[in-house]
Chains A and B, each alone.
Chain A
């Protein structure tokens, strides 16, 4: 058993914000009670969480663990260690591995690897189409049986409106969310950043905001047509958020996530360094403002990292040639604290919700701190000063634009299934 003593328990599901003790008994929470009032049996391990926040375990809806196939950039073992350091207790890994996770055998392989060497829970996302090629629907039911929690052709959108419609119809019947990387690939072709004054000044090819919002518009219309659960991945543009807002106002089952880099940085921050290259690209100032507003008002459902490791040999090239993507696990919570809470844009409770109950709802599960719930907890500090050095990361890759950034607050301990998998 493990007793988490004296922490400030923040549980968005029950709106709890109080100093409590939490007793974990293996996989389940045994008891939650006033500090000092929870009786633990002899020999119980005690974690003193005085001065720290105790939250339900953070869920990351959007990560790339690169295994199978690109193990020189990341493995399930290294990626989940980085996730644990970032405070995440469960991560949903995208299917764009080699081979693509488009069948139950690959799904089972990922889950086996996670069981053998993963620090945190790994919840695979299956491909929507075979090979994510946008032609035939993948064996989604078989993958669901094997353990996928959603489908997506991430890296690109489901290729055609027709197939997206069919996948949504099918996934509605299977009660699985469809996660869309919304992008009009013709508008985005060849682009390496967001189109705007900065791309024009730097002479880098830009994609307009509409490259995303045109596809979000398509997808929310199809969500209405099919009644499917649609989740818009890494939403970056104000116009896309307006589409999601429209969908929600009509009562559609549409949700969206925003990444820490999109609510922190903008296109004007881009320099000729591939650490600033990701897709969707860093957006405009107004987009960022809209994302911050959406995170506060509930239009945005979750913060997701889009953790996208690329080994230095791939990423350390000309901006035009570098692959898209940056690391995300270890900077997500610190950036959220800095940009959302310390800046007084959001309450701490709302921020915690975006890492816990928000993503849980997208997946159709619960996430709270109560007797009988899974013993997954994220314990973090609010004001501990520290500096992020990417070279210290357990990740195999180093592609972070936040290397060397000073923060206040970070994960102090990550608990999965009653076990401390990371402790500062």
Chain B
């Protein structure tokens, strides 16, 4: 079997084998994060272009850290500094970036499908760092890695996602990844944000939409919180008090989930709105592990796409280890 990831635009089209491979390739990079010296030379001389057409803090920094730790150089484009406001089209902006010869383009964009559109016109790998309300593949992968670490498996779990599912690219990536490992989903939130159509977006994956949080949490192994986007609270106008009353995850409600249930949140969190500090900081919360794992997953993505490595290649993080141990025995 040989995996060939030209781009990483979405998790939906990937098979369970391909997703497992991506996750497996991330694991040695997780180990690297614990080293005092975290930098590899794997992508030395390569350049990663980070084009964030929509503001982002942690994803941009995480991809930047991943590139740095692989030894790659970066080119940064941020929406506010770009020429888009001067009327340049997305494609022209990207062609200009590409003319500076990066080896990979990591892009975030407010329009769903924008990375697919760009990838059709570029010959370098394109990584989707979040597109509109479509997908956020690296987030889906880092969530799966985190779940696997905590629960020992990502197979056949009961996963509950709470919040604005309709507008969440994270939820879609979670569903398309974990669904391929036999997980079943309960989606819960205000009805305007949890349309029944969601039950059919991943044929073969059991998905149900419910509107009572108690029902959603019953027996859940994994609870994925979504940020309540304050701009969404205005369209439609929805009372924050109502949201808290009906959908806030607090310690009492969390007890309905299975005993070992874990809580994930892609951030940034609105403490006191969708989640209480008690839960966010509690033992079941994995929020900071998610962030740490994000760097490992993004290292794996950049490494695989830029180097074109396959599963027969020696993993760069393991190479370091064997060298280190060789040195130690000298």
- Among residues of A, the one whose C-beta sits closest to the C-beta of B9 is A272
Complex: how many Å from CA A199 to CA B111?
13
Partner of A200, one of B89, B91, B166: B166
Binds A, one of B130-138, B215-223, B283-291: B130-138
Residues A203 and B117 in contact in the complex (CB < 8 Å), given A196-B197, A319-B111: no
Complex: how many Å from CA A200 to CA B134?
8
User: Judging by beta carbons under 8 Å apart, are A201 and B201 in contact?
Assistant: yes
- Among residues of A, the one whose C-beta sits closest to the C-beta of B167 is A203
Q: Please, which residues of chain A bring their CB within 8 A of the CB of B111?
A: 318-321
- A197 interfacial contact with B, CB 8 Å: yes
Partner of B135, one of A197, A203, A271: A203
User: Judging by beta carbons under 8 Å apart, are A203 and B91 in contact?
Assistant: no
Complex: how many Å from CA A195 to CA B90?
26
User: Judging by beta carbons under 8 Å apart, are B172 and A319 in contact?
Assistant: no
- A225 interfacial contact with B, CB 8 Å: no
Residues A203 and B172 in contact in the complex (CB < 8 Å), given A318-B114, A320-B112: yes
Question: Which chain B residues (1-41) contact chain A, with CB distance < 8 Å?
Answer: 12
User: Judging by beta carbons under 8 Å apart, are A318 and B90 in contact?
Assistant: yes
CB of A200 to closest CB in B, whole Å: 4
Q: Please, which residues of chain A bring their CB within 8 A of the CB of B246?
A: none
- B200 interfacial contact with A, CB 8 Å: yes
- A346 interfacial contact with B, CB 8 Å: no
- A311 interfacial contact with B, CB 8 Å: no
Q: Please, which residues of chain A bring their CB within 8 A of the CB of B166?
A: 200
Q: Please, which residues of chain B bring their CB within 8 A of the CB of A114?
A: none
Complex: how many Å from CA A89 to CA B145?
63
User: Judging by beta carbons under 8 Å apart, are A197 and B200 in contact?
Assistant: yes
CB of A211 to closest CB in B, whole Å: 15
- A204 interfacial contact with B, CB 8 Å: yes
Question: Which chain B residues (50-103) contact chain A, with CB distance < 8 Å?
Answer: 89-91
Complex: how many Å from CA A196 to CA B90?
28
Chain A-chain B contacts (Cβ-Cβ < 8 Å), number:
65
Partner of A202, one of B112, B198, B202: B112
User: Judging by beta carbons under 8 Å apart, are B172 and A197 in contact?
Assistant: no
- Among residues of A, the one whose C-beta sits closest to the C-beta of B199 is A197
Residues A203 and B197 in contact in the complex (CB < 8 Å), given A272-B116, A320-B111: no
Which of B135, B197, B202 has the most A CB atoms < 10 Å from its CB? B197
Residues A203 and B131 in contact in the complex (CB < 8 Å), given A272-B112, A319-B112: yes
CB of A289 to closest CB in B, whole Å: 18
Residues A203 and B169 in contact in the complex (CB < 8 Å), given A318-B90, A319-B113, A321-B111: yes
User: Judging by beta carbons under 8 Å apart, are B198 and A272 in contact?
Assistant: no
- B182 interfacial contact with A, CB 8 Å: no
- A317 interfacial contact with B, CB 8 Å: yes
- B158 interfacial contact with A, CB 8 Å: no
Complex: how many Å from CA A197 to CA B200?
6
- Among residues of B, the one whose C-beta sits closest to the C-beta of A204 is B112
- A139 interfacial contact with B, CB 8 Å: no
CB of A72 to closest CB in B, whole Å: 15
CB of A398 to closest CB in B, whole Å: 15
Question: Which chain B residues (187-229) contact chain A, with CB distance < 8 Å?
Answer: 195, 197-198, 200-202
User: Judging by beta carbons under 8 Å apart, are B133 and A203 in contact?
Assistant: yes
Complex: how many Å from CA A271 to CA B9?
13
Residues A200 and B195 in contact in the complex (CB < 8 Å), given A317-B89, A318-B111: yes
Binary contact track A178-211/B, C-beta < 8 Å → 1, others 0: 0000000000000000011101111111000000
Binary contact track A140-179/B, C-beta < 8 Å → 1, others 0: 0000000000000000000000000000000000000000
Complex: how many Å from CA A224 to CA B64?
64
Complex: how many Å from CA A27 to CA B91?
50
User: Judging by beta carbons under 8 Å apart, are B113 and A316 in contact?
Assistant: no
Residues A203 and B198 in contact in the complex (CB < 8 Å), given A317-B89, A317-B91: no
Residues A203 and B112 in contact in the complex (CB < 8 Å), given A197-B200, A320-B132: yes
Complex: how many Å from CA A200 to CA B90?
24
Complex: how many Å from CA A205 to CA B113?
12
CB of B141 to closest CB in A, whole Å: 18
Complex: how many Å from CA A96 to CA B177?
46
Complex: how many Å from CA A272 to CA B128?
14
User: Judging by beta carbons under 8 Å apart, are B91 and A316 in contact?
Assistant: yes
Q: Please, which residues of chain B bring their CB within 8 A of the CB of A313?
A: 89
Partner of B198, one of A195, A200, A320: A200
- Among residues of B, the one whose C-beta sits closest to the C-beta of A206 is B197
User: Judging by beta carbons under 8 Å apart, are A202 and B91 in contact?
Assistant: no
Q: Please, which residues of chain B bring their CB within 8 A of the CB of A319?
A: 111-114, 117
- B109 interfacial contact with A, CB 8 Å: yes
Complex: how many Å from CA A321 to CA B112?
11
Question: Which chain A residues (115-158) contact chain B, with CB distance < 8 Å?
Answer: none
Complex: how many Å from CA A154 to CA B96?
38
Q: Please, which residues of chain A bring their CB within 8 A of the CB of B90?
A: 317-318
User: Judging by beta carbons under 8 Å apart, are A197 and B197 in contact?
Assistant: yes
Complex: how many Å from CA A200 to CA B200?
9
Q: Please, which residues of chain B bring their CB within 8 A of the CB of A203?
A: 112-113, 131-135, 169, 172
User: Judging by beta carbons under 8 Å apart, are B197 and A272 in contact?
Assistant: no
Complex: how many Å from CA A291 to CA B172?
32
Q: Please, which residues of chain B bring their CB within 8 A of the CB of A196?
A: 197
Q: Please, which residues of chain A bring their CB within 8 A of the CB of B12?
A: 201
- Among residues of A, the one whose C-beta sits closest to the C-beta of B172 is A203
Q: Please, which residues of chain A bring their CB within 8 A of the CB of B110?
A: 320
CB of A286 to closest CB in B, whole Å: 14
6 A–B pairs (Cβ distance < 8 Å), ordered by A = A203-B112, A204-B133, A204-B134, A316-B89, A316-B91, A320-B112
Q: List chain B positions with a Cβ less than 8 A from chain A.
A: 12, 89-91, 109-114, 116-117, 131-135, 166, 169, 172, 195, 197-198, 200-202
Q: Knowing that A200-B195, A203-B112 touch, tell me 15 more A-B residue pairs with CB under 8 angstroms.
A: A195-B197, A196-B197, A199-B197, A200-B198, A200-B200, A202-B134, A203-B113, A204-B113, A204-B132, A271-B116, A272-B113, A272-B114, A313-B89, A318-B113, A320-B110
